Amino acid sequence: MKVFFILVATCLLGFCHCKRSRAITDRPVTDELDDFAEDEVVNECHIGEKRRSGLRGRGQSWDMDSTAVYEEEYTRSFSRRRNDESIAYIAAEDSRRLPYSRHTITLDIFSLTSSLCQCFGYSFAGNAMRLVVPKNGITVTQIMKGEENVWTPSSGEIFDHAKVYLNKDDEPELVLVVAKTSTKVKEHYLELKDGEEWQDCTGNHEEMIEDLRNPVQCISDFDIDLFAYEDTDECRIFEVDLLGVTTKHFYPRPGHFATRVMDGNRELWKSPKYSHQSGSKVLRSSKYDDRCLSCLIYKKGIVELLEVTVVEYGSTQYKYFENTFGSWNEIDKKVFDKKADETQYEEYEEPISYFASKVDTSLFYIEEAEEDTVKFLKLTVKYGVKATELKYDEKQIWSSTWMVGSPCSSALLYMDKGRPTLAVIKTRSSSGTKSTVYKYYDGNKWRDTKEDDHKEKLAELKEKCRPGRILDISKKNSSVGTYYYHCHHNTCLHTFDLYNVNVAKVVDGEYIIWRATADTDQKCTHVQIAVVGDRETLTLTIQSDRERLIKFRKEGRRWQRV
């Protein structure tokens, strides 16, 4: 009997401590493929699917119905002072894509999480907006929308915050990225062109903003009280640090018109066409909807500034104030801009990248660049320094042992999967004689090679790093690969020959069926759809270190793995 109770207790303990428990209450179950091993699943909130902001009485819905097969292990986590441009994002931490720092993330504007970023939803002048600001210690290296690249910082740029403009379906169509360098603040406007590709539209963004506006009729009038610290039914209120400045935001909710701005009992601004309530009706003395669109309070140290954006007689105008001795006093734009610039300017130290940190910075100036999708490091020897060897991550690539008196003057390191695989080293002797050394990594050690062989290996690397193509099986006349169709009796075969194409993703319209593991050589080389009567089956041939087949059957509109 004792033995029986011991066995029962052991089983119960094993069930309680099992990370991959199949209990329905533990977690949703989604099959993900990595040599047929299961991964943990992370729930996501998608902007395009029932997600609604508190601003419009919207609620969030979790995506628990994905049937895509992903061959990867990953964990997704997530001012210009003018208010007519706003933000929103989601920080998605990709430990496979960015393995070198748990504080370096990718923002995914299609998925929302608050674990790494602060996210605020609001409305400004008829535009539905989202503002996302990374939490302290978080560095953003890329902005994505699902699988689409939206923005990547240039050398020396540090992401500060971003604003997303949403369309009527609550999907991002325009993004304002605010980044900082060591000396200035930079703004990038990016639009979704033809629903397919994100393009820079800086300088031509006003028309896009106008197209995304969805004005609403007035429901009620109210006063903005600058003493308020929490949201009200009429106004969205929040505080966040932008560009190193604590900023307090006031945005009227859709349908609620702010006709006065109050500092306690003191009136700072009032609509020139002030309306009033009469019973259940709002009475106005003009055709213009004169109102306050937003109030922003900037505070840093002893400096406190207020910017009020208003509509007067049908045009947008700005009112500026400074808080002196506890009282708001109106100032002109030049004084405001000067004080605002002083509060925002800060000497930002550019962080050393992961790759650059692996090279001896006492010997080399380091610059990251990209050539035909291949990343490389450009190393230039510092003035007055003699570089007799080149190391990466403490492992020697080259030394001047066999070239006494010919130190390195510069070098190029071509990267593959985050590590150098090709090297070009320039040397110069004391007599001025120049020479070039070509090296390649064979998986175990660095070996010498010739210029022609180097060019051939570099061409292969460029082809390898070229982004994978996407095959949409719903488009039978796709330009990806070669399509064949054969029908015999009641069996029809649709075949895609992809042997000479690098296909990294297979989709059926908007549904993802398969995606290659990040940073691997996986690709789909063959796809066949068999239609027998009213039954459809799908077979994918996946090539990497070995060839394997993945089979699916169609149930409704989705493909389920067999």
Q: Are residues 406 and 294 in the same domain?
A: no
Q: Are residues 414 and 428 in the same domain?
A: yes
Q: Are residues 95 and 242 in the same domain?
A: no
Q: Are residues 275 and 335 in the same domain?
A: yes
Q: Which of 211, 245, 268 is the last residue of a domain?
A: 211
User: Is the predicted pLDDT of residue 57 greater than 90, yes or no?
Assistant: no
Mean pLDDT of the chain: 76
54 and 253 Cβ atoms separated by less than 8 Å? no
Q: Are residues 81 and 202 in the same domain?
A: yes
Q: Are residues 66 and 202 in the same domain?
A: yes
What phi and psi values does residue 52 have, to the nearest 5 degrees?
-130, 145
Cβ atoms within 10 Å of 262's Cβ, excluding its own: 17
Percent of the chain residues topping a pLDDT of 90: 34
What phi and psi values does residue 343 have, to the nearest 5 degrees?
-75, -30
Q: Which of 211, 231, 246 is the last residue of a domain?
A: 211
534 secondary structure, DSSP code: T
Kindly state the average pLDDT of the residues 261-269. 93
CA distance 562 to 476: 23
CA distance 527 to 530: 10
Q: Residue 130: its pLDDT value, please? A: 93
DSSP-based three-state secondary structure for 341: helix
Q: What is the pLDDT of residues 433-473, one digit of tens each?
A: 889 999 999 989 999 999 999 999 998 888 777 777 888 89
- Burial class of residue 549 (count of CB atoms within 10 Å of its CB; 0-12, 13-18, 19+): exposed
Contacts for 354 with CB less than 8 Å, ≥ 6 apart: 100, 101, 104, 418
- Burial class of residue 536 (count of CB atoms within 10 Å of its CB; 0-12, 13-18, 19+): middle
User: Is the predicted pLDDT of residue 341 greater than 60, yes or no?
Assistant: yes
Q: Are residues 109 and 207 in the same domain?
A: yes
User: Is the predicted pLDDT of residue 91 greater than 90, yes or no?
Assistant: no
Number of domains comprising the chain: 4
Whether 261 is covered by a domain: the verdict is yes
- Among 106-110, 113-117, 263-267, the range with the most confident prediction by mean pLDDT is 263-267
Contacts for 261 with CB less than 8 Å, ≥ 6 apart: 223, 224, 226, 267, 268, 269, 270, 292, 295, 308
Q: Residue 390: its pLDDT value, please? A: 94
User: Is the predicted pLDDT of residue 481 greater than 70, yes or no?
Assistant: yes
Kindly state the average pLDDT of the residues 305-321. 92
User: Is the predicted pLDDT of residue 225 greater than 90, yes or no?
Assistant: yes
Q: Are residues 412 and 459 in the same domain?
A: yes
Handedness of CA 61, 66, 72, 73 (dihedral sign): positive
Q: Are residues 121 and 225 in the same domain?
A: no
User: Is the predicted pLDDT of residue 234 greater than 50, yes or no?
Assistant: yes
What phi and psi values does residue 508 have, to the nearest 5 degrees?
-125, 90
Q: Are residues 423 and 474 in the same domain?
A: no
CA distance 439 to 153: 30
Q: Which of 314, 344, 374 is the last residue of a domain?
A: 344
Kindly state the average pLDDT of the residues 144-165. 87
Q: Give the residue among 263, 237, 262 at the shortest CA–CA distance from 251.
A: 237
Q: Residue 352: its pLDDT value, please? A: 54
In the numeric block, which tokens belong to residue 150? Answer: 């939206």
The better pLDDT of the pair 203, 352 is held by 203
Kindly state the average pLDDT of the residues 233-240. 96
CA distance 389 to 373: 28
Whether 39 is covered by a domain: the verdict is no
The gap from C-alpha 266 to its chain's centroid, in whole angstroms, comes to: 43
Q: Residue 54: its pLDDT value, please? A: 35
Give the helix, strand, coil percentages of the chain, each rounded to 5: 10, 45, 45
- Among 5-19, 28-42, 477-491, the range with the most confident prediction by mean pLDDT is 477-491
Residue ranges making up the domain that contains 107: 54-211
- 110 pLDDT tier (thresholds 50, 70, 90): low
What radius of gyration do the chain's Cα atoms show? 29
CA distance 376 to 369: 6
- Angle value at C-alpha 112, between 237 and 22, nearest 5 degrees: 135
Q: Are residues 460 and 497 in the same domain?
A: no
Whether 338 is covered by a domain: the verdict is yes
Q: Residue 458: its pLDDT value, please? A: 93
Whether 41 is covered by a domain: the verdict is no
Q: Are residues 455 and 475 in the same domain?
A: no
Contacts for 147 with CB less than 8 Å, ≥ 6 apart: 505
- 288 pLDDT tier (thresholds 50, 70, 90): low
- Angle value at C-alpha 100, between 98 and 103, nearest 5 degrees: 75
User: Is the predicted pLDDT of residue 559 greater than 60, yes or no?
Assistant: yes
Q: Residue 285: its pLDDT value, please? A: 45
- Give pTM, 2 decimals: 0.47
